[in-house]
Each structure stands twice: as C-alpha cells, then as structure tokens.
Amino acid sequence: MQEAFSELAKKIKAGEFVYTGELEPHNLSTEIGDVVDWAKTLKSIGRITAANVTDNPQSFSAMSSLAASFIIQRDSGLEMVYQLRTADKNRLALASDILAAAAFGLKNILALTGDHTHMGNTPDAKPVFDLDSAQLVDLIHHMVYEGTDLSGNEVQGPRPEINIGVAGNPNQEPLEIEVLKMERKAEVGADFIQTQVVFDVDIALTYLESIEHIGIPTFIGIFPPRSYGQAEFFDKFVSGVTVPPEFLKTFKEFKAISDKAERKKKIDEFNIDYFVNFVKEIRKKKNCAGCHIMAVGYPDVIAPIIEGAEK
C-alpha cells in the first residue's frame, strides 16, 4: 500500500485486524433511510471500520452507489467503501465519479467489473465495459498518484485521496488464474482485496497462502445465513460459491425445528460458533487483513462473531 488515506487503510497499515460490512441500496428505490439505519447499527457494534455500498448488484438498477455512499457516510458517520463497476460507465464517466467521490470525502473505492448487464432487470441495456476492473484500478491510481486520467489529462485542484480495493475470488478453478490476476491488479496499484463469500475455511486458507507473495492485505468475505434456504441459495445459485455439505446438512436439520424462536436460536448459535472459529483460523495468516461480513439484515450475529474472534 503506497499511502493510507482512509480509516480502513490506516488500520490495515497499523496491522489491526479489521472488520467491514456491506450495505445494499434497494432495487429501483429512492428510499435510503433504512440503509442508513443499518449503517448506524453496524457502527454501534464498534468494531466495524467501514461498509461497502453495492453498485447495481446483479445488474439490477439501484440508487447510484456514489450518492448512496455519500449520504450513508454523512448520516451514519461510518466510513464507506464505494463500489464502482465498469459495466455501466465508460472511462469518462468513471473519472467524473472518482472526482465526485473525492469531493464527497469518500476514501475507498472497490473497483469492480460487475455482472453482465444482460443478467439484471434491463437485459436490453447496452453493456459498457469500456474498462475492466484492473484498468479501473489503473485509472484511480493515476488520478491519485500521478494527478492525471488515463489519457494524460491533468486533474485540477487537490488530487483525490482514495484507497483502492479489488475483488478476489478464492473459488476460481484453477487457482493459478486468480493468482496471476491478482499479480496484475497489484501491479496497477490495488491496496486491498475483498473476497467473494467463502464458507469453507480451507478454501480461504489456501487462497491466502497462494497470494501471500503478492503482499496485498486481504479481507475474506463471509455470509452467515439466516436459514437453510439462504445457505442453499449460495450453494446452488451464486457463481463459484460452494457450501460444505456438513454445513448444509446442519441447516437442513434446523429447518425441521418447528418452533420459530428455537430455530432462530439454534441457527444464531451455530453461525456464531462456526464463524468465530473461521475468523480465528484465517487471522493467523499474515496477509489476512480482516473479515468482510456480508450479513445484510442479520445484525444479531455480527457482534458476537467479532467478540468471539477477538477473545
């Protein structure tokens, strides 16, 4: 990491084990109030340093993640990781968003390619992909450190102060593809990696080992499921993510519990136990900077997981 501008980057640099969360503006909605509330909840936990704001996930249009990041950061006081995907904007529009992010006081951008536009709710939209995620890293890095865009045009005024994150994919087969990709992204200036959801701790550990030589601080993504359905969804429908069979089996057993409160208690207990151990394992790796907890709408387990892992 060249320079630490954000709280997140500063903590990583200081060697602290960092937790990040995730916030998702609703599809095609002008409402952001409950997302701000959720950010406040994350902040009240005390140990969450920043939260990502998704950019048109699965290519369903939602409020601009730039505007949402600004509003949520302003109203909740929690630092945002502004997710920006190249699927919808060319390099010109991306540069203007980076300038705006700087003016809005956003300090982290997660540079993404994004799902194909055809997969969402506007299948006939023109897919842009003028840049890919590595080239977006290159663009941000140029603006921050060289004070130019990729055509060599100079940035006027103070340079943006932004740390650059990239997405990692521990489930890539063969893993060598992912390692070479991360080497590329490191070359153009990525500061940190946040991975896709991982359920199997061995996959997370193998991943961390395989990219250790690159030296980029890495956050492993976790998603404690609230139900068997959610766990099964990840296993079946989320590209590349597999859920260990025993994990699924346990959740299937919970599904059979008829008493709702009892079922929730069991699921919470299991999640806390499972993910405390998970986090304890991954944090042993030197390049593991933290854990990215994507438990949207499931705050009950976040604090206990962090508490348990910090013991």
169 CB contacts (<8 Å, ≥6 apart)?
178, 195, 196, 240
State the amino acid at position 133 in one-letter form. Answer: S
Minimum CB distance to other proteins smaller for 67 or for 179: 179
In angstroms, how far is CA 44 from the centroid of its own chain? Answer: 20
Residue with Cβ nearer other proteins (59 or 65): 59
CB of 195 to other proteins, least distance (A): 10
150 versus 296: smaller Cβ distance to other proteins: 150
Q: Which is nearer to other proteins, 67 or 175 (CB)?
A: 175
Task: Tell me: does residue 218 bind other proteins (CB under 8 A).
Answer: no
Count of chain residues binding other proteins (CB under 8 A):
33
- CB 187 to other proteins: min, Å: 5
Q: Select the residue interacting with other proteins from 91, 159, 255, 266 (CB under 8 A).
A: 91
CA–CA gap between residue 25 and residue 30 (Å, rounded): 9
Q: State the SS3 of 92-151.
A: HHHHHHHHHHHHCCCCEEEEECCCCHHHCCCCCCCCCCCCCHHHHHHHHHHHHHHCECCC
Helices (H) and strands (E) in the chain, counts: 11, 8
Q: Which backbone phi and psi does 147 adopt, to 5 degrees? A: 70, 30
**Nearest to residue 291, comparing CAs of 20, 6, 44, 11?**
20
Distances from the Cα of 189 to the Cα of 138, 156, 282, angstroms = 7, 22, 24
Query: Which is nearer to other proteins, 111 or 295 (by Cβ)?
Result: 111
Please provide residue 15's backbone torsions phi and psi, each rounded to the nearest 5 degrees.
85, 10
Min dist CB 80 to other proteins, Å, is: 22
Which residues in 237-266 contact other proteins (CB under 8 A)?
A: 239-240
Q: Which residues, 269 to 298, sit near other proteins by CB under 8 A?
A: none
Least gap, CB of 7 to other proteins (angstroms): 27
Q: Which residues in the 7-26 window bind other proteins by CB under 8 A? A: none
Of 107-166, which residues contact other proteins (CB under 8 A)? 113, 115-116, 118-119, 127, 129-135, 138, 150
* CA dist., res. 108 & res. 243, Å (int): 30
Q: How far is the CB of 285 from other proteins (least distance, A)?
A: 21
User: CB of 196: closest distance to other proteins in angstroms?
Assistant: 6
Residue closer to other proteins (CB basis): 132 or 212: 132
Q: How far is CA 105 from the centre of its chain?
A: 19
Q: Segment 172-201, which members bind other proteins (CB under 8 A)?
A: 172-173, 176-177, 180-181, 183-184, 187-188, 196
N- to C-terminal Cα separation, the chain: 28
Q: In terms of CB distance, is 20 or 86 closer to other proteins?
A: 86
Measured distance CA(51)–CA(159) in Å, rounded:
24
Distance in Å, CB of 247 to other proteins, minimum? 20
> Which spans of this chain sit near other proteins (rule: CB under 8 A)?
87, 91, 113, 115-116, 118-119, 127, 129-135, 138, 150, 167, 169, 171-173, 176-177, 180-181, 183-184, 187-188, 196, 239-240
